[in-house]
Structure 1
Amino acid sequence: MISRSRRDVLASLSLAAAAVPLLGFSPVATANKSPKTILPPRLKPGDTVGLICPAGAAFSKETVQITKESMEALGLKVKLGKHVFDRMGSLAGTDQARAADVNAMFADKSVQGILAIHGGWGCARLLPLLDYKTIQKNPKPLIGYSDITALLNAIYAKTGLVTFHGPVGSATWNKFSVDSFKQVLFDAAAATFENPKEIGDNLTITKDRITTITPGTARGTLVGGNLTVLTAIIGSDYLPTWKDSILFLEDTNEKVYRVDRMLTQLKLAGVLDQVKGVVFGKCTDCGPGGGYGSLTLEEVLEQHLQPLKVPVYSGAMIGHISHKFTTPVGVEAEIDATAGTIRLLNSAVV
């Protein structure tokens, strides 16, 4: 969940990014042309996964223990980051300590994958402190969502390493999420992501429906993640190129006017004009709120995304939800906005 303090920080960063054109720079112009794509090795039983807290603190030792047991149930071994239990306010220690854990896990030859235990806020503070050369020389899967979006996109942009918007350690490791996780990271499948179609005792599907905003199919490179986090680092060189991309987005606990504001920022920064398609996942607890009227989330998405005249759909199992896809950042994919599917054109691991 995005706390008020985190939102205030993100808002200040967004204002700073918005000021970049006044200095004579274009936010889009600072976006990287991504290096050659690097696929990390697949995970296999017996591999070791490093657990890190690059953002929010691990307030509960029980949560860390549950994460450890969940990884072990997948047949994996676990190595805790040196600073997992550090704390500085809401953060899991200083920026230097949290960045050190990221760098150490990539450098550690005994570690085959890296999983964030929590999101929260703080990953963007680490971006100048990461050792991108070491990361590039030691490719391995990095998995997480929400605030981990900053790490996922920065590492892909700087190194070409494919990263994974998927469960954090403290997430619910249910069958749906585990099946997607294993399909992508263990089985090396060119997976197709499709929402469940359980009717139950209803006459039609009432849960986890997809909504086609603009029909059609499109191919491009999957990039994206949490909308708030992405907009907070627009104008930096820690984001990949948007050209010919399939942009996927999610968020939580944001009023509709804030979603409107952030999509407006993506439009003004030139991001939306470059994409081949958009998948808007779940915006959990993003109601209109009180006050004198409000646009609905559906209206905001239609107003911003229909004029792009590219395939767009919403409702994908991406976001702050218990059942989620493990979605690669940096892999070529095809979306079908009518069927509501994302199909990887190749494996995301080797």
Structure 2
Amino acid sequence: MTGVQIKRVSLIAPSTCLPRSEKSRVTQTIRYLTSILGQVEIDVCPYLFSSDELIDHVTAPLDDRAQSFKEAIRDSDLIISVAGGTGAEDIVFKIDKKDYRILRERKPLLIGFSDFTFLLNEIYYNSHIPAVYFPTLRLGRGNLKKIEDLFFDRPIQYHGTAWLTEPPKRRLTGIPLGGNLSTFVNFLNRKEPPAFNWKKYILFFEDIQIDVEDLHRLLAALRRHKVFKEIKGLVIGSLASYNKNGNYRAVQKENLRFVRNYLSDIIEKRKERKNPLPILSVSNFGHNVPRDMMAVPIGGQVVIDRHKNVT
């Protein structure tokens, strides 16, 4: 995806540790990766299953996690954050100009999920190299071919669920940004926010266990940053904790209805300006999604047509 041949892979743990019961899943993921990439060197960070003595919801002290990240971007071609949780954004404080120069020169491919949203978007913004929003430990036979195609710059396609607005008259082409909504808002909320030209971008977002009031605050923040004024489109995944037997569908439906209602004035204004804001919902993007989990190439390219195909 970045044009770099993958010879060495690093599994890093900048956030919350994995439970030891996930060891078999890590082994399986390594097996899947080698089936895609062939004989590659795999480096496994020592902090995957550890907890910091002072802050037990992160894997190690900040300096150790940052050092692990800095070594990975210098030595590896594919860097995978194995778990989300909390803590990845701490590392941003430790990334310096030299690190960003190395990222631009080496162009390693980074993959992460959930709170790693912050780093994926930060690195794309500062180094202009694409990254992938995907929970790699969810890699399985159902999505193996698509991830392989993504690694080797072959097009992959997913299918959306429903348009919350009128579908676009022509194909929508743009650069994906986003990931976890709460984390992406944190990424923007700073004294000097990143200065994106939103006209180029399509915002993908998902979240977990947020209610309508949480969603209201998050959308208000995006509105404050003028994201909706010019962004090419929105792709909205799961906004609740997925489960088969609970009230997931009802909560998801309520959240999607709120998004449409909250943005109704912007939707109408942009329609009048002949610059519509298309909003597509998808069912295979988010936490705990059981099948065909969507991989989003942050900083890459995506094409969406009126038939809900996402390529």
- TM-score tier (shorter): 0.7 to 0.9
Unaligned runs of 5+ in 1: 1-38, 196-208, 344-350
- Matching of residues 152-301 of structure 1 within 5 Å: 152-168=120-136, 170-171=137-138, 173-186=139-152, 188-194=153-159, 209-216=161-168, 217-236=171-190, 239=194, 241-244=196-199, 245-285=201-241, 296-301=254-259
Q: 1:141 and 2:109 equivalent?
A: yes
Out of 56, 59, 81, which is 2:45 matched to? 81
The separation in 2 between residues aligned to 1:158 and 1:141, in whole angstroms, is: 15
Normalising to structure 1: TM-score of the pair?
A: 0.72
The separation in 2 between residues aligned to 1:160 and 1:142, in whole angstroms, is: 12
Shift of 1:270: 1.3
Residue pair 1:213, 1:314 contacting (<8 A) in 2 also = no
Residue pair 2:238, 2:286 contacting (<8 A) in 1 also = yes
Distance 1:295 1:342, change over 3 A: closer
Residue pair 2:238, 2:252 contacting (<8 A) in 1 also = no
Q: 1:118 and 2:87 equivalent?
A: no
Distance 1:178 1:305, change over 3 A: farther
Unaligned runs of 5+ in 2: 268-275
The separation in 1 between residues aligned to 2:284 and 2:195, in whole angstroms, is: 23
| Match of residue 293 from structure 2 | 324
Distance 1:248 1:295, change over 3 A: closer
Shift of 1:242: 4.7
Larger relative contact order (Cα-Cα within 8 Å, sequence gap ≥ 6):
1
* Amino acid in structure 2 at the alignment position of 1:162: P
The separation in 2 between residues aligned to 1:238 and 1:72, in whole angstroms, is: 39
Q: Could you say what secondary structure the match of 1:296 adopts? A: helix
Residue pair 2:159, 2:282 contacting (<8 A) in 1 also = no
Shift of 1:340: 1.6
The separation in 2 between residues aligned to 1:215 and 1:152, in whole angstroms, is: 29
The separation in 2 between residues aligned to 1:238 and 1:265, in whole angstroms, is: 12
Out of 16, 30, 33, which is 1:71 matched to? 33
The separation in 1 between residues aligned to 2:51 and 2:180, in whole angstroms, is: 24
Residue pair 1:282, 1:317 contacting (<8 A) in 2 also = yes
Residue pair 1:40, 1:162 contacting (<8 A) in 2 also = yes
The separation in 2 between residues aligned to 1:119 and 1:224, in whole angstroms, is: 15
Q: Could you say what secondary structure the match of 1:137 adopts? A: helix
Distance 1:272 1:239, change over 3 A: same
Residue pair 1:220, 1:333 contacting (<8 A) in 2 also = yes
The separation in 1 between residues aligned to 2:283 and 2:5, in whole angstroms, is: 25
Shift of 1:227: 0.3
Out of 18, 28, 43, which is 1:58 matched to? 18
| Match of residue 302 from structure 1 | 260
RMSD: 2.7
How many residues matched?
A: 281
Shift of 1:247: 0.7
Residue pair 2:163, 2:278 contacting (<8 A) in 1 also = no
Q: Which has the higher helix share?
A: 2
* Amino acid in structure 2 at the alignment position of 1:210: A
The separation in 1 between residues aligned to 2:195 and 2:66, in whole angstroms, is: 20
Q: Percent identity?
A: 21
* Amino acid in structure 1 at the alignment position of 2:281: S
Residue pair 1:224, 1:248 contacting (<8 A) in 2 also = yes
Residue pair 2:164, 2:260 contacting (<8 A) in 1 also = no
| Match of residue 272 from structure 2 | none
Distance 1:62 1:150, change over 3 A: same
Shift of 1:56: 0.9
Q: Deviations over 1:187-237 (max 9, x none)?
A: x11333325xxxxxxxxxxxxx33443310422221111101011222335
| Match of residue 49 from structure 1 | 9
Shift of 1:137: 2.0
